[in-house]
């Protein structure tokens, strides 16, 4: 297996370049459900300002890892650190206040409200009524929906609703954005545009963690990628390193 993509003897050192410091870190996390180990000693560090993709076959532990980061579930053992502070027992709402925002796989927009109203709801927590229109305009420009303020969310295409959900997550001005399979159900064109939106967020120094299985989409992001297998970090590196790893290919073929 490629040494650059392997876990190595010291997980934290293997996962970050010398010039980067972790904004989010998982250390030796285990999660057991009724005797079944969903996570089995997972250690993973996310550098501030990066796009980081997490992939793996079904049952690899991706969804459980996502819930651990969100704070909606707690590990059986191990620790989670946010900017060096132990947040293992910190609930989801407090993590949100610290700067963590989530966009779920299932679309969570208010279908019977306008695009403006969908964004007004999260924006009112941080902005005055006078500031919100300008902020809505900026968010819609980021997701290629400028001029759609008065359309009902239900009138948007599937992909556009997904982008609106991303904008709603960004309305909280997060430091970290968690995206759970953001291209689910999208066309090829919509998937390409979603990659462009996420890359633009990265220009703004938003740390973005993407849980995904679409290898083409991950390739378009050109992001550091971690592969989970049986609840552990199996491989890590650039997309090219991961895609060329014979053991990773065997995982996806179900032969390892």
DSSP-derived secondary structure for 212-255: ---HHHHHHHT-EEEEEETTEEEEEE-HHHHHT-HHHHHHHHT-
Q: Please tell me the predicted confidence (pLDDT) of residue 22.
A: 92
Q: pLDDT of the chain along its 256 residues, tens only?
A: 443 333 332 334 334 443 457 999 999 999 999 889 999 999 999 999 999 999 988 889 999 999 999 999 999 999 999 999 999 999 999 999 999 998 876 668 999 999 999 999 999 988 999 999 999 999 999 999 999 999 999 999 999 999 999 999 999 899 999 999 899 889 999 999 999 999 988 777 899 999 988 888 999 998 999 999 999 999 999 999 998 999 998 887 565 5
| Distance, CA of 22 to CA of 225 (rounded, Å) | 15
Q: What is the structure's pLDDT at 30?
A: 97
Question: pLDDT at position 57, please?
Answer: 86
Q: Which residue has the tokens 């996390």?
A: 29
Closest C-alpha among 125, 129, 220 to residue 174: 125
The CATH classification number of 50-71+90-253 equals 3.40.50.300
Q: What is the pTM of this model?
A: 0.86
Residue 252 phi/psi, 5-degree rounding, is -75, -20
Domain boundaries defined on the chain: 50-71+90-253
Q: Which two tokens stand for residue 243?
A: 């895609």
């Amino acid at each position: 297996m490629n040494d650059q993509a392997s876990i190595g003897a010291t997980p934290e050192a293997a996962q970050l370049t010398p010039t980067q410091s972790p904004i989010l870190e998982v250390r030796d996390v285990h999660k057991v459900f009724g005797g079944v180990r969903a996570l089995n000693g997972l250690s993973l560090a996310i550098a501030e300002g990066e796009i980081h993709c997490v992939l793996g076959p079904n049952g690899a532990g991706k969804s459980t890892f996502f819930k651990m980061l969100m704070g909606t579930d707690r590990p059986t053992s191990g620790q989670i650190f946010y900017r060096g502070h132990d947040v293992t027992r910190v609930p989801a709402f407090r993590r949100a206040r610290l700067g963590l925002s989530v966009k779920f796989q299932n679309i969570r927009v208010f279908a019977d409200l306008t695009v403006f109203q969908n964004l007004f709801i999260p924006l009112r927590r941080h902005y005055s009524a006078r500031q919100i229109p300008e902020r809505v305009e900026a968010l819609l420009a980021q997701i290629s929906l400028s001029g759609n303020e008065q359309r009902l969310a239900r009138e948007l295409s599937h992909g556009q609703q997904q982008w609106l959900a991303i904008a709603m997550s960004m309305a909280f001005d997060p430091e970290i954005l968690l995206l759970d399979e953001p291209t689910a159900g999208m066309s090829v064109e919509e998937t390409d545009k979603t990659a462009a939106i996420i890359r633009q967020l990265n220009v703004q120094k938003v740390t973005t963690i993407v849980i995904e299985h679409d290898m083409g989409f991950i390739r378009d992001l050109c992001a550091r990628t971690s592969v989970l297998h049986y609840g552990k970090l199996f491989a890590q590196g650039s997309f090219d390193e991961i895609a060329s790893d014979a053991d990773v290919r065997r995982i996806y073929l179900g032969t390892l």
